[in-house]
Amino acid sequence: MIAHIRGTIIRKSPTRVIVEAAGVGYELLISVNCAERLPEKGREVHLDTYLHVREDIMQLYGFLDETEKEMFLLLISISGIGPKLALTILSGRGAAELRNLVSRGDVASLTTIPGIGRKTAERIVVELRDKFSSLAEMEDTGGLSTPQTETVKALVALGYSRQIAEKALKKAISEFDVDPDSVQNLIKTALKVLSGR
């Protein structure tokens, strides 16, 4: 599984971007909202990714932030919504607006998105309304940067609570000479803090 990519933007359009990493150009499908927030061609970018595999195709999807990716994953978990339709939905409504529409049960607004009929809109509301607590947690990162967010997630995956992980990370950054943009170094240093070394 390809979880993220960091590289140089070679080409971009409203629905796709080509990112060169280690001499290889990766084409990623993206939402219009993501495209509008991308840096200019020739600049470095970091994208979270989702690799969709079928018997006849492998396609990468790119996201500038974890919230959009999580919303995408929630959408494709709904019967009848594939990755391309999920991107169309995210292009028509950003993740935050979509969450508000679902929370309010606003089926009418959802049906204004191309490709979404009344039944699909109702299914989105019914299936996603209860799943948004996980997204709310992801957005509550206390002002941490993306590498710091990734570090907290890694520590939580190792069994530490979010609160303890965030406390250890903040101590690691304030008391040790650690690169705040290196997830690997942040994890190592935070683990030292947690082990009391």
For residues 57 and 71, membership in a common domain is answered with no
For the whole model, what pTM was predicted?
A: 0.67
Domain boundary among 137, 160, 185: 137
In the chain, the percentage of residues whose pLDDT exceeds 90 is: 49
- Provide mean pLDDT across the span 186-196: 89
3-class DSSP state of 2:
coil
List the CATH number of the domain containing 162. 1.10.8
List the CATH number of the domain containing 27. 2.40.50.140
For residues 132 and 158, membership in a common domain is answered with no
pLDDT digit string, tens, across residues 90-105: 998 888 899 889 988 9
For residues 49 and 91, membership in a common domain is answered with no
Residue 138 CA to residue 39 CA, distance in Å, equals 24
List the CATH number of the domain containing 121. 1.10.150.20
Query: Residues near 37 by Cβ (< 8 Å), separated by ≥ 6?
Result: 64
pLDDT winner (highest mean) among 16-25, 123-132, 169-178: 16-25
- Provide mean pLDDT across the span 183-189: 88
For residues 58 and 92, membership in a common domain is answered with no
Hey, how many other C-beta atoms are within 10 angstroms of the C-beta on 163? 10
Number of domains observed in the structure of the chain: 3
Dig out the tokens for 116 from the structure. Answer: 């979404």
- Give burial (CB, 10 Å; 0-12/13-18/19+) of 70: buried
For residues 30 and 92, membership in a common domain is answered with no
Domain that holds residue 175: 141-195
The neighbouring-strand residues paired with 6 are 46
Query: Residues near 102 by Cβ (< 8 Å), separated by ≥ 6?
Result: 110, 124, 125, 128, 129, 132
- Provide mean pLDDT across the span 175-190: 85
For residues 129 and 175, membership in a common domain is answered with no
